Amino acid sequence: MTFSVWFDGDETLWDRRGHMLTGLLDEPSHVDDATRAPELFPDVLPAMVDLAERGSVNLIHYAPMPAGHEHVLPPFAAHVDAPGAPSDLPPELHDTEADLNWLATFERIDAVIAESGSAPDDVVLISNTVGPFAKAAERGWLTVWLNRDRVANLSETMPSAEIHSLLDLPEALDAIDEARAIIAGLMPSSEATIATALDGVTPA
């Protein structure tokens, strides 16, 4: 199956944690730009090679790509702007605002999908947070939680798959394909269910 894969921005691909911490703690005059530069996570390039054989790879971008990285990464098929930053609304309205911001981004993705001819259920959203997954699932998209830090999911939103490294992504996509085939009755399996098909997608 051909997927339209969308990376939810910077923190799925680039490790900016050291960059952000350095910027907060150090005086600008004492900061070495080389130590502050974001770096690609080591699993990114191998994952890109595999994904290029499975379909299109796209980016929801929050900030300009780090200098020089456009020559390292394969070109993305499409870019769309990320959700807007939170405003000064009262805290009780933040979730509503976040949903509206994501809907605007999803509409931009919808336009790309319509132009490319991809089916909604071939869209895969990869994010390091489960926040946008409920709205993505309403569109029929698949969702993959890139949980690098292995934190607990305290929300009610369940992703299509959870992985701890992008190196686990091919297995997750294969499992999703297998589950779809079982649901469609294309594979003989009297005892198989979605749960058993996806068992093992989340690494131990």
- For the chain, domain boundaries: 3-198
Q: Which CATH number fits domain 3-198: 3.30.830.10, 3.40.50.1000, 3.40.309.10, 3.90.1150.10?
A: 3.40.50.1000
Q: What angle do CA 13, 18, 19 make, to 5 degrees?
A: 80
Residue 87: per-residue pLDDT: 56
Task: Give the pLDDT score at 187.
Answer: 54
Give the rounded percent of residues in the chain with a pLDDT score beyond 90: 40
CA dist., res. 143 & res. 200, Å (int) = 16
Q: What is the reported pLDDT for 34?
A: 46
Interior CA angle at 59 toward 6 and 74, to 5°? 105
pLDDT of residue 21: 40
107-124 confidence digits (pLDDT tens):
999 999 999 988 888 999
Lowest mean pLDDT: which of 56-65, 116-125, 155-164, 189-198?
189-198
Q: Residue 195: pLDDT band by 50, 70, 90 thresholds?
A: low
| Residue whose C-alpha is closest to residue 54's, from 96, 122, 105, 1 | 1
Query: Taking residues 147-173, what's their average pLDDT?
Result: 93
User: Hey, is 135 helix, strand or coil?
Assistant: helix
Question: What phi, psi does 57 have (nearest 5°)?
Answer: -120, 125
Output the CA–CA distances (angstroms, integers) from residue 118 to 112, 183, 202, in the order listed. Answer: 9, 21, 27
Query: Is pLDDT of 191 > 60?
Result: no
Which one-letter amino acid corresponds to residue 64?
A: P
User: Tens of pLDDT along 22-60?
Assistant: 343 344 444 444 455 788 999 999 999 889 888 899 999
Question: 């992504």: which residue's tokens?
Answer: 169
CB 123 within 8 A of CB 150: no
Mean pLDDT of the chain: 79
Structure tokens at 38: 């974001």
Mean pLDDT, rounded, for 180-185: 81
Average pLDDT (93-102) is 69
